[in-house]
Every structure is written in structure tokens, then in C-alpha cells.
Structure 1
């Protein structure tokens, strides 16, 4: 589990094709101290397992499922990525409960400066739209955000200067794809209600 509060801005160092899957090396200078093999690290909201360490970087294997369901297939060497290590009992829950299991890929459709903040509008896949509610939580590329408004498949968020400069959002352009994870409570509530209707 994660909180959606980005701890470090890392970078893709190397991408290797291995047996039909992909192995990535992700640089995170000064961030990995205390990390161990098998640790979960969210990379742009995708929960990955550290399978090896290479100096100031960690290595992770990405399956075909992960590549198909996220933006990871489009990542290139040198790309910046948002990093967050898994939640521990001592870590403050400053965002919301995030699983690191991406539900779908959305698109940035509008970007407007608003005083010192930025207003961003995204379009979600139709199958995810009903999970997104005004003043609810959404995870975009691993970042916990509050939904300002919803209009069909489109929704808006406000980005404060801290988030703009310390995550990948400040590097996004209209048309860019992003990983989306909807609120866990909404997802499980729907599943419970669906199960009740069929019994």
C-alpha cells in the first residue's frame, strides 16, 4: 500500500527486453538507503518489486500485463518518474490509500495556470468514469489528488506549486497519457453491491 505522496523524482536509466518482458533500472540518488530486495516501490503509480540494486538505482521486472495496462510501455531512458516506497506503520498517511495497481490510462486534455497553481483536466476511460466523484480522491501517475469537478469522462484537479515542481506533472503536456488509479473504497463498494444484487 502507498499514500500517493511522492517522495522522490527518479529517472529511467535503462530498459532491457528480457524473454518477452521488460527489465528496467530506475535511478534514485540518495533515496534508496534502507531499501531491500523485494521491497515495493511505486513508479508513476505502478507498484514494482525491487529485484536488484545497482548503486543509486534499483532494478524491476515488468510483465506484459503491467506493460499493457499502464503507460510503462511508453517510458524511455532518461524519463523522470514519481517514486514512493510502500507504506509503513511509522509513515504518515498524508494522501489516501493507494494500491499501486493501475486501473487504466487517462489523457491530459487541458492545462491552465491559475495564480500560483495549475488547473489540469484529464479524460478517463469510460469504464472508470463512474468511480470518479467531485471532492473524491484520484491517483494520477502515483500522485494523490482531490477531484475538483467531474463532467462525464473528464475531471479537473488543482496542482499546488509543491506538487508542480516535485513531481512529473510539471513536465506534462496536453495529450500526454497518465496512469489512473481510482479510489479503493469506490471500487470495493461497487463489487459488494454487484455481488449482493446477484445473490
Structure 2
């Protein structure tokens, strides 16, 4: 499969509800290991796999991503999925990118858990055609993919991510318990969450 030789662009999607320091570590790792020209942080509108939980408002998640991106000029916020009605599907983002920015070499940055179930994503064979998968490998764990994915030719590059036990769920739970979340999200995002009193109620 021939690779395009245009700008190298990473696509890093997620709920970012909230973004935390493991997100930043993965983004920094992708920039360095993939030699990206830029990396797009793409907050999801309503992720189809998380339809049962109410997300924090889009503008607040974007504001927190902006704070998490601070200091790296190659990071950009892309709100394409927030402007789209209905559920957020990665394949639609890749299609739009190909139309609006032809010639880019796209790298889809995902976690190992997402790689293992990528065959459940909408139009997943098309995703494999449109982007190289950059998969964050957890320390000491073997890379796993579903048999369907293993049987389909695709480009996959592992990203060596330092072990970090951070998760957005853990951050939200700590906020509800009144605990200090700065070690997980940094001072700026922690301050924003406190100022706007996010995640203090159980619906988040």
C-alpha cells in the first residue's frame, strides 16, 4: 500500500472529559516517534460507544483541551466532530480530512484497547485504508487485535507510552470525592474544573 508523502498529521480523538496528563504524554510521544508536522486534538461530539453518559459541555471540554495543549505549537484543536450532528464516527472525520486537506499522510492515534476492538467501528476497513494506526502500547502487554483486523492488511506503528494509571473516569471520581486532581490533570485544568464546578455531580 503506497504512502502519501505530504504533511504528516496525527489525529487524536476522544471525549477529553476531562483531558489528563496521560493524554498529553501520548500526544507528545506521537509527535516525537511519528515525526509529525502537527497533531490534531479532536474532541468527540457524542461518542457512539458512550451514548449512555452525559458529557461535559463541548465548549468546556474544548477549553480544557486548549489548556492541556499549551506550550506545543504543533498541537491544534479541531472541533469538526462537535460541529457534526449525531454520533461521532472516526471514518467521517477521515473522509472530511481527505476532502478538505488532500495529500496529507494521516496517523490515527489510538490506545491498545481501541485497537483490540477496532473491528466494531463503523466502516473500519475504510479507516485502515485512509490512515496508519499509531497504537499506544501499555508497558509489558502484547499488542492484540481482533482476528478480522489481523486478517486485513493495514499499517500499524506501536507507540511506547510510559506507564500512567490516569483515566478520565478516575479524575471525575476524585472530583466528586473532593480530592486533589492536580497530579492527574495539571494545575491549569484542575483550576478550570474547580472554577466551573465540573464533575461535582454524578451525571458526569
What is the TM-score with the length of structure 1 in the denominator? Answer: 0.27
TM value normalised by structure 2: 0.26
- In proportion to residue count, which structure has more helix? 2
Q: Which structure shows the bigger proportion of residues in strand conformation?
A: 1
